[in-house]
Structure formats: C-alpha cells, structure tokens
Amino acid sequence: MQHTLFISDLHLCDTRPAITAAFASFLRNTACKADALYILGDLFEYWPGDDYIASGFHACTIANLRAVTQSGVPIFLIHGNRDFLIGHAFANATGVTLLADPSIIRLYGKRILISHGDALCTDDVAYQDFRKQVRQPDWQNKFLSQSLEQRIAIIEQLRSTSDREKSSKSMEIMDVNPDAVHQLLSENDYPALFIHGHTHRPAMHVHEIDGRTCIRWVLGDWYEHGSYLSVSPDGVTVHSL
C-alpha cells in the first residue's frame, strides 16, 4: 500500500545506543517499504559540522540512511534546532535531500506543510533571538572555522545552559504560539495537513482559519521509544515502535 513516513526529534547520540539501534531497525524494516521518509529535524542530539562524519560516531546511521536511499526510497530532511549545521557533505554521504523549513509537499492529492516547528515557539523570545543569530551565514562560518573539538565544547556548554533555562520556563512558553501557527497556515494557502516536531508533545490539532480546516500533527520524540506518522491515500496513522 502507498504510504509516506514522517519522524523527528530522534536526538541520536553515542550515549543512547538503544535509540540508535531502534532507528537502524526502523530504517531496515519499515522505512525501506515506504514511498518516502521525511525527517523533520533533530535527527542528532547535535551536529557540529559535516567534518563530524570523520569522527565515526554516527557511521552506522549514515550507512543505514545510504542503504535506504540507494534502495530507491527517497529520504528528505529538514534542519532542526540541534542539527542545523548538517550540510551538503552529509547529504552526499547519505543520499538524503535537504529541504527548506518550512516546505510544501504534495502527497496522494493533498498539499502538506512540513516544518521542524521551532520557529513557531515565538513566546520564547530568548530562544528566537538565539535561533536568528545561529542561522546567520556569518555566525556559521565563524563557528565552523574553529576546530571540531572547540565546536563540540561550545555546543556542550550551550546545551548545559539551555537545560538550566528550560527548568524555569513553562511548557506553554516552549510550545508553539497559536497565532504563529495560524499565520503560517494562511501564508501557505491553508494546507490540508501540517506536520511538525520540536515540542515533544505529540498530538493532533484541528485549526479553523478563515473558513478553512487545517489538521496539524505534532510528531513525538524518540527519547523513550520511537514513533512515526504514516500518510497514505486513506489518511494518517500514528505508530509506536
């Protein structure tokens, strides 16, 4: 049966081998049977630059992604807030196609809007200021000019600071802003479906905007167990691994 899969927020890292193994199994046994796989950000806990490939930490994941794309199943990836430095070398190594955030795709007669989702958390002003800074080419070029070891140390420090700040923020502040969601949906001509991740609050939401109905699906994270969304001509289903 025709179907396309969507995942996000795996946060793969060397300290969580069980989730890395679960993703490898998902690629071998599930993704390989789909029409396509869309990864909507934060595939990795962090990505300090494409020279990280040579470190070997994610060699198996890169090889497994490559095996799926070489089998004829396309994989598309949108950057997340943890892996926005994934670049063309990673794409070449895996066969993955990088997409802009947000993007409109067409599946089985439906227009679908896809995004990582962090740009919609507009109530978290400090995060949005940080996001704007690190997405600037000048900032990225300066950051990537440092050694890999220096970049990893900076990232670890930023993660520690972020964890401390999150403890004092409410879930509402870190969730998407309804007005930002409505604006994005209207700007993209009211797509039938909107799929995103980032918030780690999986759910289905119905938005009535200007007399139009848009269904928003939030993907789950892979911290405890894996999950994915399947879109087919018959509708949308959620699966847990």
Structural domain includes residue 80: yes
Token code pair at residue 135: 């997405």
Structural domain includes residue 168: no
Strand order in the sheet with 227-232: 97-99, 75-78, 36-39, 4-7, 227-232, 235-240
Q: In the prediction, which pLDDT does 170 show?
A: 75
Q: Which of 48, 41, 113, 50 is nearest to 81 (CA)?
A: 41
Give pLDDT < 50 ranges for the chain. Answer: none
Structural domain includes residue 14: yes
Q: Are 37 and 95 in contact (CB under 8 A)?
A: no
Structural domain includes residue 27: yes
pTM: 0.96
Q: In the prediction, which pLDDT does 163 show?
A: 75
* Overall number of domains in the chain: 1
Structural domain includes residue 156: no
Question: Could you report the per-residue pLDDT of 201-223, keeping only the tens digit for each?
Answer: 999 999 999 999 999 999 999 99
Q: In the prediction, which pLDDT does 161 show?
A: 85
Helices (H), 135-177: 137-144, 148-166, 171-174
Question: Could you report the per-residue pLDDT of 142-174, keeping only the tens digit for each?
Answer: 999 999 999 999 999 988 887 777 766 677 788
Q: What are the two backbone dihedrals, phi and then psi, of residue 117, each rounded to the nearest 5 degrees?
A: 115, -15
CA dihedral 145, 54, 226, 108 (to 10 degrees): 80
Q: In the prediction, which pLDDT does 95 show?
A: 98
CA distances from residue 12 to 44, 104, 123, 226 in whole angstroms, order as listed: 4, 26, 27, 11
Structural domain includes residue 92: yes
Q: What is the largest CA-CA distance in the chain?
A: 53
Residue 28 belongs to what domain range? 4-121+178-240
Q: How far is residue 28's CA from residue 9's CA, in Å, rounded to a whole number?
A: 19
Q: In the prediction, which pLDDT does 165 show?
A: 74
Phi and psi based region of residue 56 (left: phi greater than 0; alpha: psi -120 to 50; beta: remaining): left
Structural domain includes residue 143: no
Structural domain includes residue 126: no
Q: In the prediction, which pLDDT does 119 show?
A: 98
The CATH number that applies at residue 183 is 3.60.21.10
